[in-house]
Chains A and B, each alone.
Chain A
C-alpha cells in the first residue's frame, strides 16, 4: 500500500482511533511523551505503515502499534481501570472508549471508568466546580454502560466538595471515586474528605496535567490530516490493567480519538 492509498483511507474515514499498544515497558515515558508519540505514529502510518496495523470499518480507521503483547494472566485476576480525558464534551466518547478497551484487552468489562471533563480555564488550580447540569449528559452515558454490564464502577476527577455533592445527589448510579491531584495540597480539603467519607466515595490521587493533550501537540497531530478534511481530537483514554491483590501492572495503554467535523 502506498502513501496515496493511505491518504485516501483517511479522506474516506469519519473517525480515526490511534491505539498506543502496551506502553507499560516504556517505563520512563510520561503522558506528555505518549501523546507526542501519537503524532509520530500517524505520520509513520501515512508514510510507510511500519510497525503499525490498521483496520478499516465502515467509516473508522483504527491504527494500532504492533508491539502490544498481552500477558497470559487470567482475566479474573485483572482489574481494568480506565480514565477518559474528554477534550470536547461529547458524552458518547466514554462509551466509545470503553468499547475500545474491551475489544483490545479481550475482556468482559472495565472495572472502573473515571471521566475527566474538558479543562474549564476558570477553575482553581486543583479543583473544578461543576454543577450537575454540566456533567449530566456524560454521566447518563456512563450509567448506561453500567446497566449494560460493561462497567462496574463510576468515578469523576478533580471535583470539589460542592460539585461532588451535586453529582452524588442527582445521579442514578452514584460515583464511588473522585480522583484528585495532590501536587498542590498534601491533604484534601476538609469538606471534600468529610463528604467522601460519609458517602463511601473513595478519594484517589492522580498526577495528570490539567490538559493532557496540549494545543501544540494536538495541532501537530492534526497537521498530518490537513489534506483529509477538518479534524478535531475528541478524547484521550488511558487504561491500566492491574493484578488484584498483588498490585502488579500488566498493561497500560492510550487511545486517541480523532473525529472529522
Chain B
C-alpha cells in the first residue's frame, strides 16, 4: 500500500465524513491539472518493475510451531537506511506493508525494455532476500508466502498477544488478529478502524471450508462475541478484520507505456488475462488454520476492506447512502478504457455524478471519465488534519487518496506531477510464489505477453462480465485443472480495423456504419468467446486457440536474444506451460497435498501447529534449494529423489 506523507493528526471516520465531498472534488481537480500537463508528454520508453511482498516467519523448532515475527516493520526501517541517506544505484527499495510481519521489496531501478533485462529479474530478487537475511534472527526466515496458514490462530505472532475479546483490539475489534500486528504508520490503523466505522460493523469474511472425511458437517464455530456468531456462516471459515486480507503477500508488477493510448490498450488487453494468472499462480488454500475450498486469496482481501454499508450492499433500503454498490473496493476492474473496447463494457457501473460532470466538462473522453467517476464512488478512509487544504496545481494527495484505496485487479496510473515517470499500468492479481525462480517466471511471462500483444496487435477483449465470471472460477480449488474459462477465440485480428473486428464478432454480417447488436441478443451469431481450459489458453490447441506460449515463442524468434536470456526465458516458459497442463502443481495444490498426506493431519480440515510447522519448514527448504520439489517444478528422475 502507498504511504502518503502526513502532517497533523490522523482523523477518525466521523471527522473525515464532513470533508468527504471536499476531498473528492479536489481529487478530481488535482487529476485534471495533472492531466493537462500530461497530454503534452513526449513518448516514453518501456520501463517496468516487480513488487514482491514477504513475511518474516519465526520457527520455534523446539516446540514445532511457526509464528509471524512482528519485527518486520523495524527490519524495514533498517533496510531503508540507504534510501534515507540518498544513496544511488541501490539494488532494491523497501516499503512497509500493512502488517508488521511484512516487508515489500522492489528493484532499485526499473528494468528497461531490452531483452537482456529478463536475465536480471531473478538475480535481483535473490539479492533482496540476502539483504533482509542480514537483519534476521537465527530462527527467523524471510518467505514469499501468500497466506500464513495459521494467521489468526492462538499465539500466531512473535511476540505473542493474547486476545480475550474484541476489546483487546480497539482498532480492528478482531477476535484473532492483534492490533500490534498492524504497521504503526497511522495510515494503517486508521484505515482499519475507519473501514469498520464507515461500514457500521466489523468486516465479515466467510470462506468455504474444505469438507474432508471427518470435518464436522455442518462446520460451525462458536465465538465469545455475539457479533461474530451472527456474522460467521456455517461451513465457512470466518475472519473478521483487514489484517486477514492486507496481511497477505502478493506479486505485483507495473509497466510504463509509451503514451496514454498504449497504457489504455495494455490495461484493456491484460484484463482478460487476470483470472488466468490468478488460477495459474494460486498459492493459498489454508486460512486461519483450516483447509479451505478456495486456492487463492482474492475474495479474502475483498472482504477484508469492504467498507460498504448495509444499504450499499443491498441489505437495507437506501436512506443515508446514495446508491447500491456491487463490489468491495478491493476487487476486479469494472470497465475497459479504450474507445474500441466500449462495446464490451457490459457491467452496469456505479458512477459519482459530480465527478463525472467535472471530468466531462474538462474534455475527458467518456470511458476515462466513467473509469475515474466509478473510482470516485468510494469515500476517502484516511485523512490528516493538516493535509486537507492542498495546492491542487502541484499536489495530488486527494487524488492518490481515493485512487490508492480502490484496490483493483489492475490499476491505471497517471504520471505523478514533477517527475519523468509516464503512464503506467499495474498488474495486481498474482499470488506470491515460494521461490524467486517462480516469481521471476511469472513476472517475465507477463512482460513478454505485453510485447506479444503489441507486436501482433492481438485482441483479447470480450464482455467484461465474462472476465468477472472467470475471476470467480479462478479462485476455486484446483481451478487450473478443473475449471473452464471464457476466452476470446479469435485473438489474431491484425490487418482488420478493430471496429470492423468487433462488428464481425457480434454480427454474422459486417456492414460499415451499422451498430453492432448487443452481445447475447436473441439472434444467433458466432460467439466471440468460448470456454477453454487453462491448458488451452496457455499452451494452445489446434483449431481452437493459438495459446499464449506458442505466440510468445513465435515472437522470440523474431527478436534478438542472447543465449543466457534465452535459456532463462525457456525455463520460465517451461514452468508456466507445465503448471497449465498440470504436470507441475500450483503451490496451492502442492500445499493441500502436503497437508493431507501429513501424519498429524486428521482429515478434519484442521491445519494444526505440527502440520503448519512441517509445511513451512519444507517451503523454506525448497526456497533455499536444500530440497528439490519435483512436483512444483520438476518430475522426479529417480524414485529416491521424490519428495512430498
Which residues of A are in contact with B by a Cβ distance under 8 Å?
24-25, 27-28, 30, 67, 81, 180, 182, 186-188, 193, 202-207, 240, 242, 244-250, 252
> How many residues of chain B have a CB within 8 Å of chain A?
31
Stretch of B326-334, B367-375, B556-564 lying at the A interface? B556-564
Pair A182/B566 contact, Cβ less than 8 Å = yes
CB-based contact B551/A188 at 8 Å: no
- B563 near A203 with CB under 8 A, answer yes
Q: Is B494 an interface residue (CB 8 A)?
A: yes
For the complex, give the distance between the alpha carbons of A24 and B551 in Å. Answer: 12
Q: A207-B557, A240-B558 are in contact. Are A248 and B566 (CB under 8 A)?
A: no
The answer to whether B559 touches A247 (Cβ under 8 A) is yes
Distance A206 CA – B557 CA, assembled complex (angstroms): 7
Closest A residue by C-beta to B491: A27
Contacting pair A252 B45 (CB below 8 A): no
Q: A81 and B560 in contact (CB under 8 A), knowing A182-B566, A245-B112?
A: yes
| Contact indicator per residue, chain B 544-573, by CB within 8 Å of chain A (1) or not (0) | 001000110011111111110011001000
Contact B567 A186 (CB under 8 A): yes
A25 engages B560 (CB within 8 Å)? no
Report if B451 contacts A (CB, 8 A).
yes
Tell which of B550, B559, B563, B567 touches A249, judged by Cβ atoms closer than 8 Å.
B559
Say yes or no: A240-B559 contact (C-beta < 8 A), given A24-B455, A186-B567, A245-B46: yes
Q: Which residue of B lies closest to A28 (CB)?
A: B546
Looking at A24, A180, A182, which has the most chain B CB atoms within 10 Å of its CB? A24
The answer, yes or no, to whether B457 is at the interface (CB within 8 Å) is yes
Chain A nearest CB, measured from B188 CB (Å): 38
Contact A25 B494 (CB under 8 A): yes
Partner of B563, one of A205, A240, A246, A250: A205
The interface centre, meaning the residue of A182, A204, A205, A244 with most chain B CB atoms within 10 A of its CB, is A205
Q: Does B258 touch A at the CB level, under 8 Å? A: yes
Taking a contact as CB atoms under 8 Å apart, the answer to whether B45 and A182 are in contact is no
B454 CB, min distance to chain A CBs, angstroms: 5
What are 9 sample pairs from A and B whose C-beta atoms fall under 8 A apart? A25-B457, A25-B495, A27-B456, A28-B492, A186-B567, A204-B563, A207-B556, A207-B557, A244-B113
**Does B554 contact A27, Cβ atoms closer than 8 Å?**
yes
What is the CA–CA distance of A187 and B567 in the complex, to the nearest angstrom? 7
Whether the Cβ atoms of B566 and A205 lie closer than 8 Å is yes
Q: Which residues of B contact A180 (CB under 8 A)?
A: 563
Q: Is the pair A205, B45 in contact by a Cβ cutoff of 8 Å?
A: no
Using Cβ atoms and an 8 Å threshold, which residues of chain B touch A188?
A: 563
Shortest distance in angstroms between A21's beta carbon and chain B's nearest beta carbon?
11
A240 to B561, CA, bound (A): 13
Q: How far is the CA of A203 from the CA of B566 in the complex (A)?
A: 10
**A247 near B46: Cβ-Cβ < 8 Å:** yes
* Interface SS majority for chain A: loop
A193 to B563 alpha-carbon distance, docked (Å): 10
- Which residues from chain B sit less than 8 Å from chain A, CB to CB? 45-46, 112-115, 258, 451, 454-457, 492, 494-495, 546, 550-551, 554-563, 566-567, 570
- A52 CB to closest chain B CB (Å) equals 17
> Which listed residue, A203, A206, A245, A248, touches B455 by the CB 8 Å rule?
A248
How far apart sit A196 and B113, CA to CA, in the bound complex (Å)? 24
* Residue of B46, B114, B455, B559 contacting most chain A CB atoms (<10 Å): B455
Say which residue of B457, B554, B562 sits within 8 Å of A203 (CB atoms).
B562
Interchain CB contact under 8 A, B115 and A247: yes
A249 to B555, CA, bound (A): 8
- Interface hub of B113, B546, B557 (most chain A Cβ within 10 A): B557
Chain A residues whose C-beta falls within 8 Å of the C-beta of B567 in the assembled complex: 182, 186-187
Contact of A246 with B45 in the complex, beta carbons under 8 Å:
yes
- Identify the 8 closest CB pairs spanning chains A and B, nearest first: A25-B494, A245-B113, A205-B566, A249-B455, A203-B563, A246-B46, A248-B454, A245-B45
User: Could you tell me the distance between the alpha carbons of A222 and B117 in the complex, rounded to whole angstroms?
Assistant: 45
Q: Which residues of B contact A30 (CB under 8 A)?
A: 554
Cross-chain contact B566 with A24 (CB below 8 angstroms): no
- Asked whether A242 lies within 8 Å of B559 as measured between CB atoms, the reply is yes
In whole angstroms, what is the CA distance A25 to B546 when docked? 13
Interface centre among A67, A240, A248, by most B CB within 10 Å? Answer: A248
Q: Are A28 and B563 in contact (CB under 8 A)?
A: no
Identity of the chain B residue whose Cβ is nearest the Cβ of A69 in the assembled complex: B495
Min CB distance, B270 to chain A, in Å?
16
In the complex, A202 Cα to B561 Cα: how many Å? 10
- How far, in angstroms, from A205 to B558 measured CA to CA in the complex? 10
Nearest-neighbor residue (CB-CB) of B44 within chain A: A246
A203 nearest CB neighbor, chain B only: B563
CB-nearest residue of chain A to B546: A28
Q: Which residues of A contact B557 (CB under 8 A)?
A: 206-207
CA distance A202 to B113 in the complex (A): 18
Residue of A at shortest CB range from B258?
A: A246
B559 touches A24 (CB 8 A): no
Interchain CA distance A81-B560 in the complex, whole Å: 9
Residues from chain B with a CB closer than 8 A to the CB of A248 are 451, 454-455
Q: Complex Cα distance A182/B562, Å? A: 11
Residues of chain B within 8 A of A206, CB atoms compared? 557
- Beyond the given pairs A28-B492, A205-B566, 19 more chain A to chain B contacts, judged by CB atoms under 8 angstroms and listed by A's residue number, are A25-B492, A28-B546, A67-B495, A182-B563, A182-B567, A186-B570, A204-B560, A204-B561, A205-B561, A240-B558, A240-B559, A242-B559, A245-B45, A245-B112, A246-B45, A246-B46, A246-B451, A248-B451, A249-B559
Q: Does B45 lie within 8 Å of A27, measured CB to CB? A: no
> Which residues of chain B are near A182, meaning CB under 8 Å?
563, 566-567, 570
Closest to A155 in B: B560
Kindly list chain A residues whose C-beta atoms are within 8 Å of the C-beta of B551.
27
Which of B456, B558, B561, B570 counts the most chain A CB atoms within 10 A? B558
Chain B residues contacting A187 (CB-CB under 8 Å) are: 563, 567
Residues of chain B contacted by A204 (CB below 8 angstroms): 560-563
Q: A79 — nearest CB in chain B belongs to which residue?
A: B560
Task: Looking at the assembled complex, report how far the CB atom of B341 sits from the nearest CB atom of chain A, in whole angstroms.
Answer: 20
Q: Which residues of A contact B46 (CB under 8 A)?
A: 245-247
User: In the complex, A174→B555 CA distance in Å?
Assistant: 29
Report the bound CA distance from A193 to B567 in whole Å.
14
In the complex, chain A residues whose CB is within 8 Å of the CB of B558? 24, 240, 242, 249, 252
Set of chain A residues within 8 Å of B554, measured between Cβ atoms: 27-28, 30
Taken together as a complex, chains A and B put the C-alpha atoms of A129 and B260 apart, in Å, by 51
Known A24-B455, A67-B495; judge A247-B562 contact (CB<8 A).
no
What is the bound-complex CA distance between A250 and B562, given in angstroms?
A: 20
CB distance from B182 to the nearest CB of A (A): 41
Residues of A close to B494: CB separation below 8 A: 24-25, 27
Closest to A74 in B: B43
B563 in contact with A247 (CB, 8 Å): no
In the assembled complex, the Cα of A182 lies from the Cα of B551 at a distance in Å of 19
Residues of chain A within 8 A of B451, CB atoms compared: 246-248
Given A187-B567, A207-B557, A247-B115, is A24 in contact with B562 using a C-beta cutoff of 8 Å? no
Residues of A within 8 A of B456 (CB): 24-25, 27
Chain B: minimal CB distance from A3 (Å):
29
CA distance A121 to B73 in the complex (A): 65
Least CB distance, B540 to chain A, in whole angstroms: 9
Q: Whole-angstrom distance from the CB of A84 to the nearest CB of chain B?
A: 16
Taken together as a complex, chains A and B put the C-alpha atoms of A133 and B445 apart, in Å, by 44
Contact status of A246 and B560, CB under 8 A, knowing A182-B567, A186-B567, A186-B570: no
In angstroms, how far is the closest chain A Cβ from the Cβ of B26?
36
In the docked arrangement, what's the CA distance between A252 and B558, Å? 8
Residue of A with least CB distance to B116? A202
Within the assembled complex, what's the spacing in Å between the Cα atoms of A58 and B583? 61
User: Which residues of the partner chain A approach B115 to less than 8 Å between Cβ atoms?
Assistant: 247
Name which residue of chain B comes closest to A186, CB basis.
B567
Q: Give complex CA distance A182, B553 in Å.
A: 14
Q: In the complex, which residues of chain B have a beta carbon less than 8 angstroms from the beta carbon of A28? A: 492, 546, 550, 554
Q: When chains A and B are docked, how far (Å) is the Cα of A249 from the Cα of B562?
A: 17
